[in-house]
Structure 1
């Protein structure tokens, strides 16, 4: 079978652990029954992805099977990866979703996307990246008191375009999270609640001019700036048509929002000496599973 799971950008500025956007870079897996487990990896950062039973896709699948009192058959698993690792682009979320879907297929569980999302969010610890990976598009999500995920999908307005600024280095999520405070002031809390509400309303209605206010954040980006040397300079950039920039997930990649018909790349020239500029589209679909 063939499985494709998209990359994702989480938070989108103020929507910390609540908003995610599926991006048109994919983790692709092809798998079939085999006499013994075989894993082959090609593509982006392939040298960092294990080809043994410690592979995250496989450990996720076998862990789910074990929790259900089942055992997976051996497979031949071929992985083709487009998602840079350690950049804040949802590579681990894509692998977790792929592992859950792989187990679902091999065990004939016939799970719904809601069940896949609940399991992947439980494993990830927060639903933003996996929500986008499962449903595609723009996803607002929350986890309730019994651990179930409620998620709503929206389409990004066609007038809003995206690009990624991808630095050469990587940043571990646990290190990026460790930079965050345990407590926030009331002023900062209100600031982010206002902008998260405005951001969702702006994207839902196509009022993209409001993004110039809505994309600002006080919950995580100011604290992570020391770990992403160019972040403050990137966030301060202005240009006609530029709507704003946000740290992608834990970083160090940055997501750039701009209006269709404008060329905003020159505004970031001073920030791109050691980084890649990549125009990127939204992945309208979440994961896709099909026969080979």
Structure 2
């Protein structure tokens, strides 16, 4: 994200035309911080060169929000602390799930504490992060539709099972344990309900699980799928290509790596 102050209004380039308007999340975040500071926001030019696919469940909105806040804070002389930026970003996004790792880097968990009306986060040390691949389809899935697919209530058995598997996964990652690694990814909360909204979900999940010791999960609300692999000696792309004749969508395989640094301002000129 490149920001340049100007006197020509807000001009956006580098993203689809439908997003080049003042309602862009980056612009809204930029203006929100100036409002917090009690100042009128300046006009600026914004150019995006982002590798994050838009509307695919990979946190593109969190990246946009943090870029806008970080740029505004720099223009304001770094008036606001990192913790303040985190809180405001979470309020703009609605949750801390993507904001925390995007801002602080690494493997993070976050929550909203209604007792203190604060968003909290915790960063975990992961000695050996699994090899991770994003399977990005050629279609979008709206967050609204994905959220509406979830039930209003869950059974006690499903919640207990999901919490057990989550704790198992967290223990494996933070303690570098690999026994029954894929068991931690079993989920009863959103896979059974959001999976049917994603063409090829079951086909890909079943095929990769049979071919490789890996786990397949839905990234965010979808439709991108994440493949978690312990052994990277056999690439995932050929396994997905084997399925091409029977898949309904086209899927791009993107290798991912854990970003441990989080947000940074690459350069600055007065």
Global fold match (TM > 0.5): yes
Higher RCO by CA contacts (8 Å cutoff, separation 6 or greater)? 1
Alignment of 1:40 with 2:12, yes or no, is yes
Alignment of 1:189 with 2:165, yes or no, is no
Alignment of 1:275 with 2:251, yes or no, is yes
Alignment TM-score, normalising by the size of structure 2: 0.88
In the alignment, is the contact (CA less than 8 A) between 1:73 and 1:106 conserved in 2?
A: no
> Residues of 1 paired with 2:17 and 2:148: CA distance?
23
Alignment of 1:131 with 2:107, yes or no, is no
Q: Give ranges in structure 1 of 5+ residues lacking alignment.
A: 1-28
In the alignment, is the contact (CA less than 8 A) between 1:241 and 1:262 conserved in 2?
A: no
- Mean alpha-carbon deviation: is it higher for 153-162 or for 197-206? 153-162
Who wins on radius of gyration, i.e. which is larger?
2
Matches within 5 A, 1:138-217: 138-145=107-114, 146-158=116-128, 160-217=130-187
Deviation of the 1:202 alpha carbon: 0.9
Which residue is 2:62 aligned to? 93
- Taking a change above 3 Å as real, the CA distance of residues 67 and 116 of structure 1, as seen in their structure-2 partners, is closer
- Taking a change above 3 Å as real, the CA distance of residues 282 and 154 of structure 1, as seen in their structure-2 partners, is same
Alignment of 1:62 with 2:38, yes or no, is no
Q: Give the SS at the match of 2:216.
A: strand
Which residue is 1:254 aligned to? 225
- Taking a change above 3 Å as real, the CA distance of residues 133 and 122 of structure 1, as seen in their structure-2 partners, is same
Deviation of the 1:36 alpha carbon: 2.5
Give 1 or 2: higher helix fraction: 2
In the alignment, is the contact (CA less than 8 A) between 1:240 and 1:262 conserved in 2?
A: no
> Residues of 1 paired with 2:65 and 2:221: CA distance?
17
In the alignment, is the contact (CA less than 8 A) between 2:26 and 2:67 conserved in 1?
A: yes
| Cα RMSD for the two superposed structures | 2.0
Give 1 or 2: higher strand fraction: 1
In the alignment, is the contact (CA less than 8 A) between 1:243 and 1:258 conserved in 2?
A: yes
Aligned length: 261
Alignment of 1:117 with 2:51, yes or no, is no
> Residues of 2 paired with 1:75 and 1:247: CA distance?
36
Q: Give ranges in structure 2 of 5+ residues lacking alignment.
A: none
- Taking a change above 3 Å as real, the CA distance of residues 48 and 247 of structure 1, as seen in their structure-2 partners, is farther
